[in-house]
């Protein structure tokens, strides 16, 4: 099956710094990827839809200037958490569809962000 | 996006069959039903997908009644390693790339 990877798997940063998380589709091209955030014992919350070659579409309540998304190629989307604060500590997960019309999404392993 | 409702949690003994039901009353004509499994600190993993009637693969079965307003994920002979959160998602099927909304999920605890 399709494989999606994320890097890093775990990151600790100081408050006020920025952190970049990468999401890669390893064996397929993805013009669209999705970014989720998951707090402990909670469900996944969709943050934004990442579109290759165009601006990301953010869900209501998600600050686009704080969570910068870049989808520069058909296999890579990045999420940058800018000026991170402790409340941004969470589990960030990306996903992608191998092709249009297919509803089966493949999820990355997630990135644990801890802001101290 | 269709909203889904699942039981928050379920317990089952090892070796038993587990059935998790999901309600999705406002499912659209083109929507598919997909179930995912998630272990702690991991991304969700695809289990099974269906549109109507019954779908079976090597790990589970999915039962969908004619009105498609609900669906039931059936896990045969669960083991301790099946302890996880199971999510029912509804959507997609109309072309393009479909974003999905996760519900609360069902936390399955398998007991020895």
Q: Which long-range contacts (C-beta less than 8 Å, at least 24 apart) are formed by A105-108?
A: A105/A34, A105/B34, A105/B46, A105/B100, A106/A1, A106/A2, A106/A3, A106/A4, A106/A25, A106/B46, A107/A4, A107/B36, A107/B43, A107/B44, A107/B45, A108/A4, A108/A5, A108/A6, A108/A23, A108/B43
Sequential pLDDT tens for chain B (112 residues): 568 999 999 999 999 999 999 999 989 888 889 999 999 999 999 999 999 999 999 999 999 999 999 999 999 999 999 999 999 998 865 544 566 778 889 999 999 9
Q: What confidence score (pLDDT) does residue A65 get?
A: 95
Sequential pLDDT tens for chain A (116 residues): 679 999 999 999 999 999 999 999 998 888 889 999 999 999 999 999 988 888 999 999 999 999 999 998 999 999 999 999 999 999 999 998 776 555 678 899 999 999 99
For residue B49, the distance in angstroms to the closest alpha carbon of chain A comes to 8
Any chain A CB within 8 A of the CB of B99? yes
Q: What confidence score (pLDDT) does residue A52 get?
A: 85
Cβ within 8 Å of residue A88, ≥6 positions away? A66, A81, A113, A115
Q: What confidence score (pLDDT) does residue A80 get?
A: 98
Mark which residues 72-111 of A lie under 8 Å from B by CB: 91, 93, 95, 97, 100-110
Q: What confidence score (pLDDT) does residue A113 get?
A: 98
Any chain B CB within 8 A of the CB of A61? no
Strand partners for B33: B50, B90
A contacts of B100 (beta carbons < 8 Å)? 34, 46, 103, 105
| DSSP assigned state of B8 | S
Q: Give the SS3 label for residue A2.
A: coil
Please, is B84 exposed, middle or buried when counting C-beta atoms within 10 Å of its C-beta (0-12, 13-18, 19+)?
Answer: buried
CB contact under 8 A, B41 and A110: yes
CB contact under 8 A, B102 and A105: no
Q: Give the SS3 label for residue B13.
A: strand
Distances in Å between the alpha carbon of A114 and those of A19, A89, A91, A106, B62?
10, 5, 9, 24, 38
Q: What confidence score (pLDDT) does residue B93 get?
A: 55
Q: What confidence score (pLDDT) does residue A100 get?
A: 58
Q: What confidence score (pLDDT) does residue A30 get?
A: 86
CB contact under 8 A, B45 and A101: no
Considering only the beta carbons, identify the residue of A31, A49, A110 that sits closest to B43.
A110
CB contact under 8 A, A93 and B102: no
Rounded to whole angstroms, how far apart are CA atoms A111 and A84?
15
Do residues B4 and B103 lie in contact, with contact meaning Cβ atoms separated by under 8 Å? yes
Nearest Cα neighbor of B91 from B68, B58, B61, B66 is B68
Q: What confidence score (pLDDT) does residue A99 get?
A: 65
Cβ within 8 Å of residue A47, ≥6 positions away? A35, A36, A37, A58, A59, A62, A67, A79
Q: What confidence score (pLDDT) does residue B75 get?
A: 98
Rounded to whole angstroms, how far apart are CA atoms A39 and A97?
24
């Amino acid at each position: 099956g399709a494989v999606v990877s994320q890097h890093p798997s775990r990151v600790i940063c100081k408050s006020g710094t920025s952190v970049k998380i990468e999401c890669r589709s390893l064996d397929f091209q993805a013009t669209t990827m999705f970014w989720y955030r998951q707090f402990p014992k909670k469900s996944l919350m969709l943050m934004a839809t990442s579109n290759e070659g165009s601006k990301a579409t953010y869900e209501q309540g998600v600050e686009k200037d704080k969570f910068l998304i870049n989808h520069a190629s058909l296999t890579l989307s990045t999420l940058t958490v800018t000026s991170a604060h402790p409340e941004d500590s969470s589990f960030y997960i990306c996903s992608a569809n191998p092709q249009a019309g297919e509803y089966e999404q493949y999820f990355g392993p997630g990135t644990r962000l801890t802001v101290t | 996006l269709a909203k889904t409702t699942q039981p928050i949690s379920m317990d089952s003994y090892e070796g038993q069959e587990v059935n998790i039901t999901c309600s999705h009353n406002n499912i659209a004509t083109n929507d598919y039903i997909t179930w995912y499994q998630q272990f702690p600190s991991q991304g969700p993993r695809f289990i099974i997908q269906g549109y109507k009637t019954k779908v079976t693969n090597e790990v589970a079965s999915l039962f969908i009644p004619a009105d498609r307003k609900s669906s039931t994920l059936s896990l045969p002979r669960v083991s301790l390693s099946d302890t996880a959160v199971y999510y029912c998602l509804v959507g997609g099927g109309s072309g393009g790339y479909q974003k999905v909304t996760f519900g609360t999920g069902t936390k399955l605890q398998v007991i020895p």
